[in-house]
Amino acid sequence: MAKRARAGITASDDRLSALPDGVLHTILSFLPARQLVQTSLLSRRWKDLWCSTPCINIDEREFDIGSGRNVQAKKWSKFENFNTNLLLFRSNAASVDKFCLYAHEHNHRDVDKWIRRGIKRLYLSNVSLDNCFAELLSSGSSPLEILELRSCWNYFWDITSHTLKDLFIDSCIHHDAHPLVITAPGLTSLRLNITNTSYADGISVYQTTALAKAAIVIPSPVFFPVDNQRNLLRSLFSVTKLELGGFETKALLVDEFSEFQKFANMRTLLFGEIFLDEGCLDVKLELLGSFMQNAPCLEKLTLYCSMVKEHCEMEWDSKRRSINLQRQNQKAFQCPKLKVVEVLYEDDHHHRLAEFLWVITARLPHASITLTKLR
């Protein structure tokens, strides 16, 4: 106290501590768990405040543990003890709204412990998850609403939850020999970023009538075969907003589309880096039109680096230095509610983008075309 007085600081100057608990909890939610606990040393006001914060962010990198063969046993033991004590000393009256964990595959037991505390938002990175995790989700003991898995090792084959609303799986490794089955009747948002061959057996989504938004990215078709792409699309029939990246042209073949349910609710559609093969532009447009005509309420179409392949570093093809754009007599697409077509592109090499725009305006005569150069 004497030191504070000599520095000209009094208790009345500590305006931060005078804030209500709710505001301080919001501030504390931005801190990793180790720093969160250390705030108990600030003053008597802060001593037990961390025990009731609704957001927990545990990150093994705070403990300088290392990874793989470089994991240091003593530091890892300290990390696990910290997690156990953090759970032990938290106030039982305080619910955990959001829990984030970054840890390598050595520790999945802590995840189970925290889920049992009634978490609503769970964010996991680099964690190994087994069937116990899946069983906890399906047991109904957790009111989990948001689940985000990034670069996790998943040793389970199903995600079943009646409370889950938002699911994001990004760059995870699926170690089970079965397809991943997602059953979540309350799910409203689904995001999948498939970046390895772990899901070669497919992903099935059931009871999706509440699903409103879906974003599926496949950087390479090798990771997710055409049949898997088509089956996954069939389960997204209820969405109002759909984003697809990396899908193969074959997944949208015209003669296969009779099998698809109509996307009766879809208002917004984004294609990212698809239709990039060297096929005929007219054929690509027919495929695009088939998809769009299965979405009678579609209002906006966005094409991100799609339809035309760009080779900015290649020499100019002498045959493409000058092109002749002739009037098109093809039948217009039946998209009565489509208002805007947004085209995002990087370069227009060989005038292929100009050619595409010329043709698409004939197929969609009532839609406005917006052109945006990305770089």
pLDDT in the model for residue 180: 93
Residue 177 has pLDDT above 60, yes or no: yes
pLDDT-based confidence at residue 205 (cuts at 50, 70, 90) = very high
pLDDT-based confidence at residue 349 (cuts at 50, 70, 90) = low
The closest alpha carbon to 180, from 154, 157, 149, belongs to 157
Q: What is the DSSP letter of 107?
A: -
pLDDT in the model for residue 368: 92
Once rounded to an integer, what is the mean pLDDT over residues 193-199? 83
pLDDT in the model for residue 55: 87
Mean pLDDT value across the chain: 80
Whether the model clears a pTM of 0.85, i.e. scores above it, the answer is no
